[in-house]
Amino acid sequence: MKQTLTLRPIAAEDMDFLCQVYASTREEELSQVAWGEGQKAAFLQMQFDAQHRYYQENYLNAQFQVILLNGEPAGRLYLDRRAAEIRIVDIALLPAYRNQGIGSTLLHQIMAEGDRAGLPVTIHVESFNPALRLYQRLGFRLAEDRGVYYFMEKLPGEYDDRR
């Protein structure tokens, strides 16, 4: 069966789902702490709320989208198309949808757009994020080490859509 990958703008009713996506990106990290499930849930909700508010306030022109696979919510993609770059603010998938090529497909589309527009595609990635290997494999290069985060970029003209 052919899988259909689409995007749609986030809506108020997506907040629980978006928090679930966010929480799934922190599971391994939180497995190291001796908190109860209620404490973890409260912490994740607080962190998600702060991140969501920060993104909404600081990326005023960004597109905040839900990633849909065959119409089912699978993750989130937040893109900020700027005059000098296309910034991937956030891309995350629920665990059940990871390692299926969904992220790669979306990243290829974004890189092709950057190439057509003559703009670099940029992203901040935590140095311990398993997706770092994917970005490197796709040709993103370290532009700046910002401590916990790497600021990575894919320059225009470096995209090869035959991959």
**Per residue in 64-115, pLDDT tens?**
999 999 999 999 999 999 999 999 999 999 999 999 999 999 999 999 999 9
Q: Domain count of the chain?
A: 1
Q: How far is CA 125 from the centre of its chain?
A: 9
Tell whether 159 is covered by a domain. Answer: no
- Structural domain that includes position 23: 5-154
Tell whether 134 is covered by a domain. Answer: yes
Tell whether 160 is covered by a domain. Answer: no
Angle between helix axes 15-24 and 37-58 (nearest 10 degrees) is 110
Tell whether 52 is covered by a domain. Answer: yes
* 77, 106 contact by CB (below 8 A): yes
- What's the pTM? 0.91
